[in-house]
Chains A and B, each alone.
Chain A
């Protein structure tokens, strides 16, 4: 589709190599050039992507890129046209001469795009043809990120393009080690979900809930009081900030139950404050207020925890579906009970 377009857009070269001057089309055909250097502009782009700012705009132009000074024997690496993916790959390949084949995944990372098939057999085969890769390199081998396998059938690619797909490690950072032996160790094949990987997701989670959280806080502030507003903010922040951090250490296996436990813990100070803070109030009213905090806040955290399944690296469709059927009703009932108790408490205070 874009052979023509690409020639015309010469001079911009898209993505992180915008400062590169463009060589005459005849000399380089349609091969872009790139480096392993991550500039300050790249880092700023990564930062914005992490905060979901202009989420669809973190793209690299799809096509073939020369890294370093490649020859026809140099390896070919395949990646997505998301800046975070492309930059992770090229920065991991410092000192390596090779080609990078960037597929059009619409600015989505390798694994997610592979799940949908955009990082897939069809796109790979047509990108090989569109870039004339077969004439650029003399061998017929491609190194793909392992997580691309969800969308790519290696034997199909071989049949349709003649290129043999080699699945490299999950993480680009392991590529230098892999390139020495072309063997992927069992550890390189495993997807983990370490603290670092969980923490970088917090900004995106936070941006997603910011507006509803502030709205709820304002409404609660006006109708119930400042403490209830603080309670709501606490429950939401527990779900999107504390939960990703504490995930492996929270007891039980399912995200919903982990979320209920965390939500209950952060609601506890509010409940205890209501129960013990006003010794001259009627006991039943203090109990109602305390229960309102516990029942109203914990399902909010639990629901946000359940939603974090999509960001995690190990939950399955079957498992999440089972969990949703089991726990969303519980969340709804608990939350509803919390609202009713809040109304009772508020009315009693108004009337009494």
Chain B
């Protein structure tokens, strides 16, 4: 079977079905039901809904999934651009987050 890497033009999610062992971890961790298993392998069913959180890639034991994960937060990106930081982040680094909203 000449499987190809599946990707969309709206986000950075890439999935290589040839590497899938149907362990179901991506299905379990995705907060937007992007993956679903047909019993033999996992399918990309809602690729456009991917928010690039990276949970699937992190938990895929065979490396079948790749995604350029990061925060979908305009405030963090503006802050990163203004301060010359390379990667906008949200989280424990108090400087990393300029936004009132992104760290809850």
Contact = CB atoms under 8 A, between A and B. Distances in A.
B19 interface: no
Contact of A112 (B29, B61, B77, B90): B90
B103 to A, nearest CB: 5
Contacts of A151: 58
Interface residues of A, number: 57
B71 A310 contact: yes
A205 B100 CA distance: 6
B50 interface: yes
Interface string A321-341: 101100000000000000000
Q: Interface of chain B, helix or strand or loop or mixed?
A: loop
A127 B93 CA distance: 20
B71 A115 contact: yes
Contacts of B54: 115, 150
B44 interface: no
Interface residues of B, number: 44
Interface in B27-55: 28-33, 49-55
Interface stretch (A5-13, A68-76, A280-288, A312-320): A312-320
Nearest to A204: B100
B91 A118 contact: yes
Interface string B51-94: 11111001101000000111111111110000000000111111
A205 B73 CA distance: 14
Interface in B6-33: 10-12, 25, 28-33
B53 A115 contact: yes
Given A184-B28, A307-B101, A314 B74 contact: no
Interface in A96-131: 105-109, 111-118
A309 interface: yes
A111 B49 CA distance: 18
A146 B31 contact: yes
Contacts, number: 157
A190 B91 contact: no
Given A316-B11, A320-B74, A311 B101 contact: yes
Nearest to B102: A310
A115 B89 contact: yes
Interface in A275-318: 306-318
Interface stretch (A30-38, A152-160, A213-221): A152-160
A263 B69 CA distance: 31
Nearest to A154: B59
A63 to B, nearest CB: 17
Nearest to A206: B100
A126 to B, nearest CB: 15
A48 interface: no
B59 A153 contact: yes
A167 B28 contact: yes
Contacts of B50: 316
A313 B75 contact: no
A314 B96 contact: no
A209 B100 CA distance: 9
A182 B71 CA distance: 30
A315 B72 contact: yes
Interface of B: 10-12, 25, 28-33, 49-55, 58-59, 61, 68-78, 89-94, 96, 99-104
Interface of A: 52, 56, 84, 105-109, 111-118, 146-147, 149-155, 167, 170, 184, 186, 189-191, 201, 204-205, 207-209, 255, 306-321, 323-324
28 contacts: A56-B94, A108-B92, A113-B91, A114-B55, A116-B90, A146-B31, A150-B29, A150-B54, A150-B55, A153-B58, A153-B59, A154-B59, A167-B28, A189-B30, A190-B31, A190-B33, A201-B104, A204-B100, A306-B74, A310-B90, A311-B101, A311-B104, A317-B68, A317-B77, A318-B10, A318-B52, A318-B68, A319-B72
